[in-house]
Amino acid sequence: MLDYKNIIDNYSKKINNKKNFLAKSLLENKKLLYYFGCNELSTNLSKIIDPDGFIDDYVQSGNYWHGKPIISLKNISKEAIIVNCVINSRPRTGFLRILNAGFANVLSYSDLCRALPDLVPLPNFAIHTRKDIIKNSKKWNLVHNELADYESKNTFDDVLRYRLTADHTALENYSFRPQDQYFENFMKFDSEIFVDAGGFDGDTTEQFCLRYPNYQKVYFFEPSKKNITLANTRLEKYHSIEFIEKGVSNEEGSLFFNSDSGSSSAVSATGDCKIDVTTIDLFIDEKVTFIKMDLEGWEINALEGAKRHIIMDHPKMAIAVYHNPSDIWRIFEFINNIRSDYHVFLRHYTESWTETVMFFMPKKNS
């Protein structure tokens, strides 16, 4: 059984005296204070503890963020306290960058959560994960027990530890490597008919075509006209790609879509436009051998629309399971209820909570 309570308890205790002292000194305004990163987290934190400014080397000097100056790291006094507010994709890289620049008084956002728990809240993903695992601990444990190899179980533990605490040291052995996502050796790709559900600008399909040039065909689903155009240009030298300007769901129709969020664009009740959607079962008649999905939380709906292909074709699958805490057990449960004859693997591709992928490899002789 996963001892999530022990993970939380150990996290609460895991702060050294210096970091505890630095965190509490922020309330006394004794030193210069800067937040590393101009994002939602630093914005919310600035409403709790007022900083002297924000650090962002990619914004031109002289700009302001919420009334405070944005300053390059090289122009900050080495005596200042810096709080790393980067928690997506590369939090450890951000933290080490500050340390390597010669700063001694460095805190992560999770350090503040530990030292000042009544003042500084955990990030939303940690709050939601704690709620879900308390409610559904048996389902989380079932997934852990069913994973096919040690690396999957270890990945599960590490990702859960980060999702419960937002402590970047939980993922110190992981790096940001999106180019490797979906392409693990145990999947044994060969002459595939590939469904890229949520193709974005063609980055995943490009990697697929480069790595496995003897593929048969790619069905590329992407609802954004802008992204479809980019993908067509990116993939023009590759063969047998059918571009479908639609989203995938559990039925045909139209849905609201948030089109302004780049790779995070998703179906949304408050979306700024409508998109056409179809199902994999309705659109594709031939056998498919590999399905990849990263649909910003819409994966269950799309999988429901691919039931026939899952039952009849028994395809390999690589499904994103990070958008909601419950995805990691809900997607496992959903597919397992359709076909239980899969080896299930888990891999992770960033230093943060994003880009966790669950792989389904058909068992032999099934």
| Residue spans per domain, the chain | 4-121, 137-362
Q: What is the pLDDT of residue 263?
A: 46
Quote the DSSP letter at residue 75.
G
Q: Look up tokens 């079962």; give the residue.
A: 281
Which tens digits make up the pLDDT trace of 288-319? 999 999 998 889 999 999 999 999 999 999 99
Query: Coil, helix or strand for 69?
Result: strand
Q: How confident is the model at residue 269 (pLDDT cuts 50, 70, 90)?
A: very low
Residues whose CB falls within 8 Å of the CB of residue 178, separated by 6 or more in sequence, listed in order: 203, 349, 350, 355
* Contact criterion met (CB below 8 Å) for 125 and 325: yes
Please report, as a single letter, which amino acid is at residue 48.
I
Q: What Å distances lie between residue 215 and 145, 154, 195, 237, CA to CA?
A: 34, 32, 12, 14
Which tens digits make up the pLDDT trace of 169-225? 999 999 999 989 999 999 999 999 999 999 999 999 999 999 999 999 999 999 888
Q: CATH number for the 137-362 domain, one of 3.30.1360.200, 1.10.760.10, 3.40.50.150, 3.90.180.10?
A: 3.40.50.150
Q: How many CA atoms lie within 13 A of 125 on its CB side?
A: 20
pLDDT higher than threshold 80 for residue 270: no
- Output 264 or 223, whichever has higher pLDDT: 223
* Contact criterion met (CB below 8 Å) for 93 and 69: no
Q: CATH number for the 4-121 domain, one of 3.30.230.70, 3.40.50.720, 3.40.50.2020, 1.10.287.310?
A: 3.40.50.720
Q: How far apart are CA 132 and CA 153, in angstroms?
A: 19
Question: Which tokens hold the place of 144?
Answer: 């852990």
Instruction: Kindly provide the residue ranges of all beta strands, DSSP E only, lying in the chain, ordered along the sequence.
Output: 33-36, 53-55, 64-65, 68-71, 81-84, 106-108, 193-197, 217-221, 241-244, 247-248, 253-258, 266-267, 273-278, 290-293, 316-320, 342-348, 356-362
* Domain 4-121 and domain 137-362 have a common topology: yes
Q: Which helix (H) or strand (E) holds 94?
A: helix 91-100
Which tens digits make up the pLDDT trace of 316-350? 999 999 999 999 999 999 999 999 999 999 999 99
Q: What is the pLDDT of residue 267?
A: 59
Q: How far apart are CA 249 and CA 298, in angstroms?
A: 8
Question: Which tokens hold the place of 313?
Answer: 């074709």
CA-based end-to-end distance of the chain:
30
Q: How far apart are CA 46 and CA 109, in angstroms?
A: 12
Question: Which tokens hold the place of 38?
Answer: 């101009």
pLDDT higher than threshold 60 for residue 262: no
Which tens digits make up the pLDDT trace of 357-366? 999 999 986 5
